[in-house]
Amino acid sequence: MYFSKSFVPILKNNPTEAKIKSHQLMLRVGMIKQSSAGIYSWLPLGFKVMKKIEQIVREEQNRIGVQEILMPTIQSSEIWKESGRYDDYGEEMLRIKDRQNREMLYGPTNEELVTEIFRSSIKSYKSLPQLLYHIQWKFRDELRPRFGIMRCREFYMKDAYSFDLNDDEALFSYNKFFLSYLRTFKRLNLSAIPMAADTGPIGGNLSHEFIILADTGESKIYTDKRIFEVNSASTLLEKNSLTNLRLQYEKFYSVTDEKFDKKEFEKVVPEDFRVNTKGIEVGHIFYFGDKYSKPMNTTVDFNGKKVFVKMGSYGIGVSRLVGAIIEAKYNDKDEIMKWPISVAPYHCAIIPMINKNDTTNLEKSNKIFEFLKFKNIDAIIDDTEENISAKIRKFNLIGIPYQLILGKKTEGDLFEFKEINGETQKISIDEVASQILKAKSN
């Protein structure tokens, strides 16, 4: 791909309307474009990153045996009336009427719809557990959409739902998602900490938010700082049973704002370990038993008895994660963004110095591009006539993790190659490929 032909509308300066780094950067390097308040189009660079995040989320759901489906964005009000949430949900729900004057809505979440799908087909406890997920747009008419795609009205969510026979089995499912979330965020190169959280309009009495620490986050958290060490333990995910894994975290006080109890905090956390800070909620899991199955009369047959199924739901903010990764990875001092290689829009930027009368560097770039492509490395060639330092500044902002530079002095088979925030090396193209492939496989 040539940069001159790619749709990456870069702005000269940071847009003044954006208050936090991720919003500024996403507009500045043309990842998104606002279409109306809290509603965005995703342009190629942003879309690529979001799709890569989505794929990692999908793989980790599949890995614990969750089955992928796709439910519609538009739902009928009927099922929401059955669960009792049609009125409760209030103005955040976008209500629509169709031409027959039927009340419809743009789904803010899917507990009702998935329960309806389940109850129409699953009749026996022998088919349990059922774990289903989809990745689909949601709409919440937030009063104050802000920070770009971090708190917007239309956003992309992975939402999963579990159906079990009893509390014990339902908690086993909950713990499976807990593990899956830790694996997912690790693959995204993020340290997301599970915190006991309030359940809000979803309901239930067991819930964890997965939070990335960031000053620009909207979630207030109160925690024992020893919990941060749990995440970095290298054998955490391999060595613990499902129940034990959750206990590793629950040993330490860590809650979001709504669950905060000053007295308890001061009682159980020694003064030196108390942390009161902010973070970004990238995932949220809930256990709510029969909150939906009861009013929606959703049962399975168990030895001749009808039993209400026990349910949980599990969300990841796929589109919010794009911004959250920027907040976590942007280096303010050097003005460098570095995408984790697992979600980077391209793996390597090929940056040739272009001289109108001399096509040597561009020809070399084309050959390098083909070679990297053959190795499954996704590169982009900056074929524009900007000077080298302007090009490097531009790619420092875009955040492609590797840069291969063909300057005036590029001769022979060695190339100037660097990790975006690293030292320049002079190495062969084989060595370039093997360094990138090694990073990809980690």
Q: Which residues bind ligand P5A (CB under 6 A)?
A: 109, 140, 142, 151-152, 155, 157, 159, 202, 281-284, 286, 313-315, 317, 320
- For ligand P5A, the closer of residues 1 and 39 by Cβ is 39
Query: Closest Cα to residue 161, out of 66, 85, 296, 300?
Result: 66
Nearest 10 degrees: CA dihedral of 399, 403, 408, 411? -170
| Minimal distance, residue 318 CB to ligand P5A, in Å | 8
CB of 204 to ligand P5A, least distance (A): 10
Minimal distance in Å, beta carbon 160 to ligand P5A?
7
Closest approach, Cβ 431 to ligand P5A, in A, equals 40
Residue closer to ligand P5A by CB (options 41, 241) is: 41
Q: Judged by CB, which is closer to ligand P5A: 152, or 341?
A: 152
Q: How far apart are CA 436 and CA 242, in angstroms?
A: 34
Q: 320 vs 347, which CB is nearer to ligand P5A? A: 320
Written as six digits, the tokens of 176 are 């499976």
Residue 140 beta carbon to ligand P5A: minimum distance, rounded to whole angstroms: 5
DSSP SS3 for 351: strand
Tell me how far, at minimum, the Cβ of 68 lies from ligand P5A, in Å: 15
CA 385 to chain centre: 36
- Is 256 or 365 the residue whose CB approaches ligand P5A more closely? 256
Residue with Cβ nearer ligand P5A (284 or 347): 284
Distances, alpha carbon 92 to alpha carbons 104, 154, 246, 268, in Å: 14, 11, 32, 37
| Residues 149, 46: Cα–Cα separation, whole Å | 11
Q: d(Cα 364, Cα 125) in Å, to the nearest integer?
A: 63
Taking the least distance from each CB to ligand P5A, the nearer of 109 and 180 is 109
Vertex 435 angle, CA 430 and 439, to 5°:
145
Question: Which single residue brings its beta carbon nearest to ligand P5A?
Answer: 317
Shortest distance in whole angstroms from residue 283 CB to ligand P5A: 5
Q: Which is nearer to ligand P5A, 23 or 320 (CB)?
A: 320
CA–CA distance, 169 with 6 (Å, rounded to integer): 50
Phi (first) and psi of residue 322, to 5 degrees: -60, -50
**DSSP track, 99-147:** TT--EEEE-S--HHHHHHHHHHH--BGGG--EEEEEEEEEE---SS-BT
Closest approach of Cβ 230 to ligand P5A, in Å?
Answer: 20
Upstream peptide bond of 270 is cis (omega within 30 degrees of 0): no
- Name the residue nearer to ligand P5A (CB basis): 151 or 310: 151
- Shortest gap between Cβ of 130 and ligand P5A (angstroms)? 15
Determine the length of the chain. 442
**Nearest Cα to 371, choosing from 404, 395, 338, 344?**
404
